[in-house]
Amino acid sequence: MDAITKKIIEFRDERDWKQFHNAKDLAISLTLEASELLENFQWKSSEDAINKNMDQIQDELADVLIYALMLAHDLEIDAEKAILQKLKKNAEKYPVDKFKGTSKKYTEGE
């Protein structure tokens, strides 16, 4: 993840765009890109969306990841460590012996 983040930051630095960025607007960008991804599924089943819009889905998902890794970089968050810590928290919240195979999390909300 470090290597790919480096490429993303290189892209920005070559254009000297860091000066226009701040965390709040990057967080806004992230919601906008997530919406553009979701737009590909609007009025469709998952299957139809995948069959019809796979190229755009891939591009929009890449945009989400680019902004997420850029924001992590700017906030000096180690993305990999943050994911592992969150998975650990989730594992405590949803222990295997109580949640295996049940849809409880999905039908009753987190």
Cβ of residue 94: shortest distance to a second copy, in angstroms?
6
Cβ of residue 73: shortest distance to a second copy, in angstroms?
11
Cβ of residue 36: shortest distance to a second copy, in angstroms?
8
Backbone region of residue 87 per phi and psi (left: phi > 0; alpha: psi in -120 to 50; beta: other values): alpha
